[in-house]
């Protein structure tokens, strides 16, 4: 599993992101061709920023402000992989939504609509596509401070559009000082937000494969004005996602109420619900009710826990990484006592190898009842047939 890690310790802009991905190893000729076909032939050169060598990308594009439709039309004409162009369209859509929220409906982009932004976004999305990471992590984004000139006058840093984009991204941010100026642009924020939606990386451990640096325009003497990108290779190959864990302790509900509440929580969208016996204050026996859920459903399910069980407080452990094995369902034809039936069997995989097989219990139970056999015996026979179907090399 290859994880792309963005470290925007001095913020991010479109040219910095594009340069960092080129420095990391994205094929420069293909990226330049995509940018050239969208706008103009870019200049890509090696520079130094406070002693660190980095790639500087200059789009050499004219300042022509366009409508969103015009921008998307120009993006669609670029000579780049379809996946990269679709990603570029999503980036511009993020920017357009933020600008409309801040400035209201307008025929033209306010902050980002010039050809240099088109080139930067097409180039960065093409470079990202060429690197093909399995997951992306973005460390806290430095925003800067002070003020910046915009089409409507002097804006505070970070710019309002940048804040709107980052608010919807879930990325962590870090404010700076007045002397920093603008470190993260709307283009940089939108690209990082789009890239980070590519998959949850889990813990950032692994082998370092490559490092790249993308240079910004300014060159302060003591602080390298660069964006750092690293590529990690993880030893584990299980994919993952993020879940929230909700917990509450109860000692004053009956078993019937608890069972009803757990069923209601599952029906409301919980991934899993369990009740764990525990001792509570004053030595009273009780239960820890634990709910695993998607982050966006935490509030709804916490309310359901309170309503169903009368609890006055629900703890939430947010965004816990969860390793998830790939899984699929196969149909296994089994013959028992002269009777045949297809039973669905769930396969758990890591990479190409199956490490666990689980016959669907409801189907096993139904057949076992009709055969007059214990369900565990039927399940064992079905599992043995499933292993034979997949081949002995899959046995663990």
Pick from 323, 338, 358: which residue ends a domain? Answer: 323
Please give the tally of structural domains in the chain: 3
pLDDT tens digit sequence for 132-172:
998 999 999 999 999 988 666 788 999 999 999 999 898 99
Q: Does position 213 have pLDDT exceeding 90, yes or no? A: yes
Instruction: Round to whole Å and give the CA distance between 186 and 128.
Output: 18
Tokens representing 92?
A: 């511009």
What pLDDT band is residue 394 in, cutting at 50, 70 and 90?
very low
Look at strands 147-150 and 52-58 and give their pairing. unpaired
Task: Report residue 241 as tokens.
Answer: 């996602």
Gyration radius (Cα) of the chain, Å: 27
| Residue 317 pLDDT exceeds 50 | yes
The secondary structure of 40-52 as a DSSP string is ---EEEEEEETTE
Do residues 281 and 140 both lie within one domain? Answer: no
Is the predicted pLDDT of residue 238 greater than 70, yes or no?
no
- Token pair for 15: 């040219």
Q: Is 78 helix (H, G, I), strand (E, B) or coil?
A: coil
Does one domain contain both 277 and 228? no
Domain shared by 265 and 363, yes or no: no
How would residue 393 be classed by pLDDT, with cut points 50, 70 and 90?
Answer: very low
> Are 215 and 319 in a shared domain?
no
Strand ranges (E), the chain: 2-7, 43-49, 52-58, 135-138, 141-144, 147-150, 153-156, 173-175, 207-215, 226-233, 239-250, 272-279, 285-293, 315-324, 326-336, 339-350, 353-359
Cβ-contact 286, 278 below 8 angstroms:
yes
123 in the same domain as 193? yes
Residues 58, 162, single domain; the answer is yes
Tokens describing residue 172 = 């962590």
Higher pLDDT, 114 or 127: 127
Q: In the predicted model, is pLDDT for residue 228 greater than 60?
A: yes
Which residues, in sequence order, are bridge partners of residue 49?
52
The whole-number pLDDT of residue 396 equals 41
Q: Helices 186-196 and 14-24 sit at what angle, rounded to 10 degrees?
A: 50
* Residue 187 and residue 307 in one domain: no
What CA–CA distance (Å, rounded) separates 229 from 213?
Answer: 6
Over the chain, what is the mean pLDDT?
Answer: 90
Higher pLDDT, 57 or 352: 57
For residue 381, what is the domain's CATH number? 3.10.20.300
Looking at residue 391, what is its pLDDT?
A: 81
Exposed/middle/buried for residue 243 (C-beta within 10 Å: 0-12, 13-18, 19+): buried
Give the number of other Cβ atoms within 10 Å of residue 393's Cβ: 7
Whether the model pTM is above 0.75: no
What pLDDT does residue 199 have?
Answer: 65
Calpha distance 364→284 (Å, rounded) = 40
For 352, the domain range is 326-394
Last residue of some domain: 209, 233, 257? 233
Q: Are residues 210 and 278 in the same domain?
A: no
Q: Which two tokens stand for residue 111?
A: 């902050």
Residues 51 and 144 occupy one common structural domain: yes
Q: CA-to-CA distance for 315 and 296, rounded, in angstroms?
A: 15
CB 22 within 8 A of CB 213: no
Domain identity same for 343 and 210: no
Taking 70 as the threshold, does the pLDDT of residue 33 lie above it? yes
**59, 83 Cβ separation under 8 angstroms:** no
More confident residue, 317 or 291: 291
Are 179 and 146 in contact, with CB atoms under 8 Å apart?
yes
Residue 52: pLDDT above 80? yes
**Mean pLDDT, to the nearest integer, of 258-270?**
95
pLDDT score recorded for residue 395: 43
Partner residues linked to 48 by β-bridges: 53
Are both 54 and 195 inside the same structural domain? yes
Relative orientation angle of helices 186-196 and 82-103, to the nearest 10 degrees: 130
Share of the chain above pLDDT 70, in %: 93
Q: Are residues 98 and 229 in the same domain?
A: yes
- Mean pLDDT, range 260-285, rounded to an integer: 93
Domain C-terminal end among 293, 323, 353: 323
């Amino acid at each position: 599993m290859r994880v792309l890690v963005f470290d925007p310790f001095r913020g991010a802009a479109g040219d910095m992101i594009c340069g960092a991905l080129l420095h990391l190893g994205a094929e420069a000729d293909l990226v330049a061709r995509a940018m050239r076909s969208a706008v103009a032939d870019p200049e890509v050169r090696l520079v130094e920023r406070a002693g660190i060598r980095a790639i500087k990308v200059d789009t050499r594009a004219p300042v022509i402000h366009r409508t969103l439709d015009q921008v998307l039309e120009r993006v669609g004409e670029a000579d780049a992989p379809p996946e990269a162009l679709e990603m570029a369209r999503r980036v511009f859509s993020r920017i357009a939504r933020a600008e409309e929220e801040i400035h209201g409906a307008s025929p033209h982009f306010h902050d980002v609509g010039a050809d240099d932004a088109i080139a930067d976004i097409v180039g960065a999305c093409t470079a990202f596509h060429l690197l093909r990471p399995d997951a992306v992590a973005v460390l806290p984004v430095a925003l800067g401070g002070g003020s910046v000139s915009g089409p409507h006058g002097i804006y505070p840093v970070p710019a309002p559009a940048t804040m709107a984009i980052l608010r919807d991204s879930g990325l962590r941010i870090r404010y700076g000082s007045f002397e920093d100026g603008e470190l993260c642009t709307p283009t940089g924020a939108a690209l990082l937000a789009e890239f980070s939606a590519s998959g949850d990386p889990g813990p950032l451990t692994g082998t370092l494969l490559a490092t790249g640096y993308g240079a910004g325009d300014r060159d302060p003497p003591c602080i390298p004005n660069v964006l750092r990108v690293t590529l990690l290779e993880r030893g584990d190959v299980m994919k993952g996602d993020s879940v929230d864990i909700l917990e509450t302790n109860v000692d004053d509900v009956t078993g019937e109420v608890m069972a009803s509440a757990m069923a209601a929580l599952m029906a409301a969208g919980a991934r899993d619900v369990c009740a764990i016996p525990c001792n509570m204050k004053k030595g009273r026996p009780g239960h820890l009710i634990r709910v695993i859920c998607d982050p966006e459903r935490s509030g709804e399910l916490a309310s359901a826990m309170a309503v169903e069980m009368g609890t006055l407080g629900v703890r939430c452990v947010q965004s816990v990484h969860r390793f998830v094995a790939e899984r699929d369902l196969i149909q296994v034809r089994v013959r028992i006592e002269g009777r045949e039936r297809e039973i669905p069997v769930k396969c758990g995989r890591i990479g190409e190898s199956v490490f666990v097989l689980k016959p669907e219990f409801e189907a096993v139970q139904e057949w076992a009842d009709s055969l007059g056999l214990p369900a565990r015996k039927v399940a064992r026979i079905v599992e043995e047939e499933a292993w034979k179907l997949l081949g002995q090399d899959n046995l663990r």
